[in-house]
Amino acid sequence: MLSRVADAIYWMNRYLERADNIARFIDVNYHLSLDLRGGDEQWLPLVATTAALPQFHERFDRPTRGNVIKFLAFDRENPDSILSCVERARENARAVRDQITIETWEEINTFYLMVRHEAALDNVTGDPHRFLSNVKTTGGLIQGVTDATTSRSEGWHWGRIGRMLERADKTSRILDVKYFILLPAVTDVGTPLDDLQWTALLKSASALEMYRKRYGRIAPERVAEFLLLDREFPRSVQFCLHLADVSLRTITGTQGETFSNPAEQMLGRLGSMLAYSGIEEIVTAGLHEFLDQLQRDLNTVDDAIHDGFFALRPAAATIGGNQ
Protein backbone atom coordinates (compact mmCIF):
# COMPACT_ATOMS: atom_id res chain seq x y z
CA MET A 1 0.00 0.00 0.00
CA LEU A 2 1.25 3.49 -0.85
CA SER A 3 2.36 5.48 2.18
CA ARG A 4 0.04 8.39 1.35
CA VAL A 5 -2.93 6.01 1.20
CA ALA A 6 -2.05 4.41 4.53
CA ASP A 7 -1.55 7.88 6.02
CA ALA A 8 -4.97 9.06 4.84
CA ILE A 9 -6.76 5.97 6.17
CA TYR A 10 -4.93 6.25 9.50
CA TRP A 11 -5.90 9.91 9.94
CA MET A 12 -9.42 9.44 8.63
CA ASN A 13 -10.03 7.04 11.50
CA ARG A 14 -8.24 9.20 14.07
CA TYR A 15 -10.37 12.21 13.15
CA LEU A 16 -13.62 10.21 13.26
CA GLU A 17 -12.71 8.80 16.67
CA ARG A 18 -11.71 12.27 17.89
CA ALA A 19 -15.06 13.76 16.83
CA ASP A 20 -16.86 10.95 18.64
CA ASN A 21 -14.87 11.51 21.84
CA ILE A 22 -15.36 15.28 21.80
CA ALA A 23 -19.12 14.72 21.48
CA ARG A 24 -19.00 12.33 24.45
CA PHE A 25 -17.15 14.86 26.59
CA ILE A 26 -19.54 17.71 25.79
CA ASP A 27 -22.71 15.65 26.26
CA VAL A 28 -21.70 14.21 29.63
CA ASN A 29 -20.46 17.58 30.87
CA TYR A 30 -23.70 19.22 29.76
CA HIS A 31 -25.79 16.83 31.87
CA LEU A 32 -23.32 17.08 34.75
CA SER A 33 -23.58 20.86 34.73
CA LEU A 34 -27.38 20.60 34.91
CA ASP A 35 -27.06 18.38 37.97
CA LEU A 36 -24.44 20.51 39.70
CA ARG A 37 -25.54 23.96 38.55
CA GLY A 38 -21.90 24.82 38.99
CA GLY A 39 -21.58 27.71 36.56
CA ASP A 40 -18.71 28.43 34.21
CA GLU A 41 -16.06 26.60 36.22
CA GLN A 42 -17.60 23.26 35.23
CA TRP A 43 -16.82 23.91 31.56
CA LEU A 44 -13.17 24.93 31.64
CA PRO A 45 -11.87 21.41 32.47
CA LEU A 46 -13.64 20.18 29.35
CA VAL A 47 -11.42 22.41 27.21
CA ALA A 48 -8.41 21.14 29.15
CA THR A 49 -9.38 17.59 28.18
CA THR A 50 -8.65 18.43 24.55
CA ALA A 51 -5.36 20.20 25.37
CA ALA A 52 -6.72 23.38 23.76
CA LEU A 53 -6.76 25.87 26.63
CA PRO A 54 -4.38 28.41 24.99
CA GLN A 55 -6.42 28.48 21.76
CA PHE A 56 -9.67 28.86 23.70
CA HIS A 57 -8.40 31.80 25.76
CA GLU A 58 -7.26 33.52 22.56
CA ARG A 59 -10.81 33.42 21.21
CA PHE A 60 -13.08 33.70 24.24
CA ASP A 61 -13.07 35.73 27.44
CA ARG A 62 -15.05 33.31 29.61
CA PRO A 63 -15.58 29.54 29.63
CA THR A 64 -19.36 29.72 29.50
CA ARG A 65 -21.41 26.79 28.28
CA GLY A 66 -22.15 28.52 24.98
CA ASN A 67 -18.54 29.52 24.34
CA VAL A 68 -17.14 26.09 25.13
CA ILE A 69 -19.70 24.24 23.03
CA LYS A 70 -19.11 26.56 20.07
CA PHE A 71 -15.36 26.14 20.40
CA LEU A 72 -15.42 22.36 20.71
CA ALA A 73 -18.25 21.65 18.28
CA PHE A 74 -18.15 24.15 15.43
CA ASP A 75 -15.08 26.43 15.58
CA ARG A 76 -13.09 26.01 12.37
CA GLU A 77 -10.15 27.79 14.02
CA ASN A 78 -10.01 24.93 16.52
CA PRO A 79 -8.41 21.98 14.68
CA ASP A 80 -9.94 19.56 17.18
CA SER A 81 -13.53 20.77 17.00
CA ILE A 82 -16.13 18.25 15.84
CA LEU A 83 -16.63 20.19 12.60
CA SER A 84 -12.89 20.40 11.87
CA CYS A 85 -12.40 16.69 12.59
CA VAL A 86 -15.31 15.59 10.40
CA GLU A 87 -14.16 17.86 7.56
CA ARG A 88 -10.66 16.40 7.69
CA ALA A 89 -11.96 12.86 7.95
CA ARG A 90 -14.07 13.45 4.82
CA GLU A 91 -11.14 14.97 2.92
CA ASN A 92 -8.97 11.97 3.76
CA ALA A 93 -11.79 9.60 2.80
CA ARG A 94 -12.26 11.39 -0.53
CA ALA A 95 -8.54 11.06 -1.23
CA VAL A 96 -8.73 7.26 -0.88
CA ARG A 97 -12.22 6.51 -2.18
CA ASP A 98 -10.87 3.62 -4.23
CA GLN A 99 -9.51 2.04 -1.01
CA ILE A 100 -12.65 2.26 1.15
CA THR A 101 -16.08 0.83 0.49
CA ILE A 102 -18.89 2.88 -0.98
CA GLU A 103 -20.91 2.26 2.19
CA THR A 104 -18.16 3.78 4.33
CA TRP A 105 -17.81 6.79 2.04
CA GLU A 106 -21.56 7.45 1.99
CA GLU A 107 -21.79 7.36 5.79
CA ILE A 108 -18.81 9.70 6.21
CA ASN A 109 -20.21 12.11 3.64
CA THR A 110 -23.64 12.06 5.31
CA PHE A 111 -21.94 12.68 8.65
CA TYR A 112 -20.14 15.71 7.25
CA LEU A 113 -23.33 17.17 5.76
CA MET A 114 -25.18 16.73 9.07
CA VAL A 115 -22.47 18.46 11.12
CA ARG A 116 -22.12 21.29 8.60
CA HIS A 117 -25.90 21.81 8.63
CA GLU A 118 -25.96 22.03 12.44
CA ALA A 119 -23.05 24.46 12.39
CA ALA A 120 -24.92 26.71 9.94
CA LEU A 121 -28.04 26.70 12.13
CA ASP A 122 -25.99 27.92 15.11
CA ASN A 123 -28.67 27.03 17.65
CA VAL A 124 -27.24 23.93 19.30
CA THR A 125 -25.72 25.53 22.41
CA GLY A 126 -29.01 25.80 24.31
CA ASP A 127 -29.75 22.07 24.27
CA PRO A 128 -26.89 20.21 22.55
CA HIS A 129 -27.96 16.68 23.51
CA ARG A 130 -29.75 15.81 20.25
CA PHE A 131 -26.84 16.89 18.06
CA LEU A 132 -24.22 15.20 20.25
CA SER A 133 -26.22 11.98 20.35
CA ASN A 134 -26.34 12.02 16.55
CA VAL A 135 -22.57 12.48 16.40
CA LYS A 136 -21.98 9.52 18.72
CA THR A 137 -24.50 7.33 16.92
CA THR A 138 -23.11 8.18 13.51
CA GLY A 139 -19.55 7.54 14.67
CA GLY A 140 -20.54 4.07 15.82
CA LEU A 141 -22.46 3.50 12.59
CA ILE A 142 -19.44 4.37 10.45
CA GLN A 143 -17.23 2.03 12.46
CA GLY A 144 -19.79 -0.76 12.20
CA VAL A 145 -20.30 -0.29 8.46
CA THR A 146 -16.55 -0.23 7.89
CA ASP A 147 -15.98 -3.39 9.88
CA ALA A 148 -18.88 -5.15 8.13
CA THR A 149 -17.87 -4.24 4.57
CA THR A 150 -14.05 -4.08 4.59
CA SER A 151 -11.63 -6.97 4.14
CA ARG A 152 -9.06 -7.33 6.90
CA SER A 153 -6.36 -6.05 4.61
CA GLU A 154 -3.54 -3.60 5.30
CA GLY A 155 -5.84 -0.60 4.93
CA TRP A 156 -8.28 -1.89 7.54
CA HIS A 157 -5.42 -2.45 9.99
CA TRP A 158 -4.07 1.09 9.47
CA GLY A 159 -7.56 2.38 10.23
CA ARG A 160 -7.75 0.34 13.42
CA ILE A 161 -4.33 1.55 14.55
CA GLY A 162 -5.42 5.18 14.13
CA ARG A 163 -8.72 4.61 15.91
CA MET A 164 -7.15 2.73 18.84
CA LEU A 165 -4.35 5.24 19.43
CA GLU A 166 -6.82 8.12 19.39
CA ARG A 167 -9.16 6.31 21.76
CA ALA A 168 -6.35 5.48 24.19
CA ASP A 169 -5.23 9.11 24.22
CA LYS A 170 -8.71 10.48 24.89
CA THR A 171 -9.45 7.92 27.63
CA SER A 172 -6.27 8.96 29.42
CA ARG A 173 -7.11 12.65 29.05
CA ILE A 174 -10.61 12.46 30.51
CA LEU A 175 -9.25 10.43 33.44
CA ASP A 176 -6.49 12.98 33.98
CA VAL A 177 -8.94 15.89 34.04
CA LYS A 178 -11.04 14.30 36.79
CA TYR A 179 -8.08 13.25 38.90
CA PHE A 180 -6.01 16.41 38.49
CA ILE A 181 -8.22 19.39 37.61
CA LEU A 182 -11.48 18.30 39.24
CA LEU A 183 -9.74 16.75 42.24
CA PRO A 184 -12.09 17.56 45.13
CA ALA A 185 -11.22 18.93 48.52
CA VAL A 186 -10.48 16.32 51.15
CA THR A 187 -13.90 16.93 52.66
CA ASP A 188 -15.56 16.14 49.29
CA VAL A 189 -13.92 12.73 48.77
CA GLY A 190 -16.56 10.00 48.86
CA THR A 191 -19.45 12.47 48.87
CA PRO A 192 -22.32 12.43 46.34
CA LEU A 193 -20.51 15.23 44.42
CA ASP A 194 -17.37 13.13 44.07
CA ASP A 195 -19.38 10.05 43.05
CA LEU A 196 -21.35 12.11 40.51
CA GLN A 197 -18.17 13.28 38.79
CA TRP A 198 -16.68 9.76 38.65
CA THR A 199 -19.97 8.48 37.25
CA ALA A 200 -19.90 11.19 34.58
CA LEU A 201 -16.35 10.19 33.69
CA LEU A 202 -17.41 6.58 33.17
CA LYS A 203 -20.38 7.69 31.08
CA SER A 204 -18.10 9.73 28.82
CA ALA A 205 -16.28 6.50 27.95
CA SER A 206 -19.54 4.49 27.71
CA ALA A 207 -18.07 2.49 30.57
CA LEU A 208 -20.57 2.86 33.41
CA GLU A 209 -22.54 -0.33 32.83
CA MET A 210 -19.49 -2.52 32.29
CA TYR A 211 -17.79 -0.97 35.31
CA ARG A 212 -20.83 -1.68 37.49
CA LYS A 213 -20.86 -5.30 36.35
CA ARG A 214 -17.19 -5.65 37.26
CA TYR A 215 -16.89 -3.65 40.49
CA GLY A 216 -20.33 -2.54 41.65
CA ARG A 217 -20.01 0.70 43.61
CA ILE A 218 -17.98 3.68 42.46
CA ALA A 219 -14.42 3.78 43.84
CA PRO A 220 -11.83 6.15 42.31
CA GLU A 221 -8.96 3.64 42.18
CA ARG A 222 -11.19 1.00 40.61
CA VAL A 223 -12.39 3.50 37.98
CA ALA A 224 -8.79 4.33 37.10
CA GLU A 225 -7.92 0.63 36.99
CA PHE A 226 -10.87 -0.15 34.71
CA LEU A 227 -10.11 2.62 32.22
CA LEU A 228 -6.36 2.05 32.20
CA LEU A 229 -5.68 -1.63 32.75
CA ASP A 230 -8.78 -3.67 31.92
CA ARG A 231 -7.97 -6.31 29.28
CA GLU A 232 -11.55 -6.79 28.08
CA PHE A 233 -13.23 -3.36 27.97
CA PRO A 234 -12.86 -1.91 24.43
CA ARG A 235 -12.16 1.66 25.51
CA SER A 236 -9.52 0.92 28.15
CA VAL A 237 -6.01 2.11 27.34
CA GLN A 238 -4.49 -1.36 27.61
CA PHE A 239 -7.12 -2.92 25.34
CA CYS A 240 -6.65 -0.19 22.72
CA LEU A 241 -2.86 -0.45 22.69
CA HIS A 242 -3.03 -4.23 22.41
CA LEU A 243 -5.21 -4.03 19.28
CA ALA A 244 -2.97 -1.33 17.79
CA ASP A 245 0.07 -3.53 18.38
CA VAL A 246 -1.64 -6.58 16.84
CA SER A 247 -2.57 -4.59 13.71
CA LEU A 248 0.89 -3.07 13.32
CA ARG A 249 2.53 -6.51 13.58
CA THR A 250 0.02 -7.90 11.08
CA ILE A 251 1.07 -5.19 8.61
CA THR A 252 4.82 -5.71 9.09
CA GLY A 253 4.71 -9.48 9.57
CA THR A 254 6.78 -9.29 12.75
CA GLN A 255 6.44 -12.47 14.80
CA GLY A 256 6.75 -13.26 18.49
CA GLU A 257 8.21 -10.93 21.09
CA THR A 258 10.56 -9.14 18.70
CA PHE A 259 10.22 -5.84 16.85
CA SER A 260 11.32 -4.63 13.43
CA ASN A 261 10.83 -0.86 13.76
CA PRO A 262 10.71 1.84 16.46
CA ALA A 263 6.89 2.03 16.45
CA GLU A 264 6.59 -1.67 17.29
CA GLN A 265 9.24 -1.30 19.97
CA MET A 266 7.44 1.63 21.60
CA LEU A 267 3.99 0.01 21.42
CA GLY A 268 5.37 -3.22 22.86
CA ARG A 269 7.09 -1.35 25.67
CA LEU A 270 3.91 0.58 26.50
CA GLY A 271 1.83 -2.58 26.44
CA SER A 272 4.25 -4.41 28.73
CA MET A 273 4.35 -1.48 31.14
CA LEU A 274 0.56 -1.49 31.44
CA ALA A 275 0.34 -5.28 31.62
CA TYR A 276 2.73 -5.47 34.56
CA SER A 277 1.54 -2.37 36.44
CA GLY A 278 -0.87 -2.36 39.36
CA ILE A 279 -3.21 0.54 40.00
CA GLU A 280 -1.99 0.89 43.59
CA GLU A 281 1.60 1.54 42.53
CA ILE A 282 0.44 3.91 39.78
CA VAL A 283 -1.64 5.97 42.21
CA THR A 284 1.09 5.93 44.85
CA ALA A 285 3.66 7.23 42.35
CA GLY A 286 1.17 9.83 41.05
CA LEU A 287 -1.67 9.16 38.64
CA HIS A 288 -1.39 12.57 36.97
CA GLU A 289 2.33 12.06 36.35
CA PHE A 290 1.65 8.58 34.97
CA LEU A 291 -1.04 9.85 32.60
CA ASP A 292 1.07 12.81 31.51
CA GLN A 293 3.91 10.47 30.57
CA LEU A 294 1.49 8.09 28.86
CA GLN A 295 0.20 10.89 26.64
CA ARG A 296 3.76 11.86 25.70
CA ASP A 297 4.52 8.23 24.90
CA LEU A 298 1.43 7.97 22.69
CA ASN A 299 2.58 11.07 20.79
CA THR A 300 5.99 9.43 20.38
CA VAL A 301 4.35 6.30 18.95
CA ASP A 302 2.43 8.47 16.48
CA ASP A 303 5.66 10.21 15.45
CA ALA A 304 7.39 6.84 15.01
CA ILE A 305 4.55 5.56 12.82
CA HIS A 306 4.73 8.68 10.66
CA ASP A 307 8.51 8.56 10.32
CA GLY A 308 8.65 4.82 9.73
CA PHE A 309 5.70 4.35 7.37
CA PHE A 310 4.22 7.61 6.06
CA ALA A 311 6.98 10.19 5.69
CA LEU A 312 8.38 10.82 2.24
CA ARG A 313 12.07 11.31 1.57
CA PRO A 314 12.41 14.26 1.52
CA ALA A 315 9.37 14.83 3.72
CA ALA A 316 6.40 16.44 1.99
CA ALA A 317 3.01 17.51 3.30
CA THR A 318 0.18 15.07 2.59
CA ILE A 319 -3.52 15.40 3.02
CA GLY A 320 -3.47 12.68 5.65
CA GLY A 321 -1.17 14.46 8.07
CA ASN A 322 -2.42 16.00 11.32
CA GLN A 323 -2.58 19.62 10.24
Q: HSE (CB half, 13 Å, CA atoms) of 237?
A: 29
How high is the pLDDT of residue 141?
95
How far is it, in rounded angstroms, from Cα 15 to Cα 135?
13
- Over residues 71-110, the pLDDT tens digits come to 999 999 999 999 999 999 999 999 999 999 999 999 999 9
Domain range list for the chain: 3-310
How high is the pLDDT of residue 184? 53
The pTM is what? 0.89
Triad 311, 316, 322: Cα angle to 5°: 70
H-type helices in the chain, by residue range?
3-36, 44-49, 53-59, 65-73, 82-95, 102-121, 129-149, 154-176, 192-204, 208-215, 220-229, 237-252, 262-275, 279-285, 287-305
- Say whether the peptide bond before residue 314 is cis (omega within 30 degrees of 0): yes
What one-character DSSP code corresponds to residue 24? Answer: H
The Cα–Cα gap between 67 and 78 comes to: 12
Q: What is the pLDDT of residue 311?
A: 87
Which residues, in sequence order, are CB contacts of 194 under 8 Å at separation 6+?
A: 184, 188, 220
The pLDDT value recorded for residue 315 is: 46
* pLDDT digits (tens), the chain, 323 positions: 899 999 999 999 999 999 999 998 888 888 777 766 555 557 888 888 788 889 999 999 888 888 999 999 999 999 999 999 999 999 999 999 999 999 999 999 999 999 999 999 888 777 788 999 999 999 999 999 999 999 999 999 999 999 999 999 999 988 887 766 555 554 555 567 677 888 888 988 889 999 999 999 988 899 999 999 999 999 999 999 999 999 999 999 998 788 899 999 999 999 999 999 999 999 998 888 999 999 999 999 999 999 999 987 654 444 455 54
The Cα 156–Cα 159 span in angstroms is: 5
CB atoms within 10 A of CB 238: 21
**pLDDT tens track for 195-212:** 788 888 898 888 999 999
Task: Tell me how far apart the alpha carbons of residues 51 and 39 are, in angstroms, rounded to a whole number.
Answer: 21
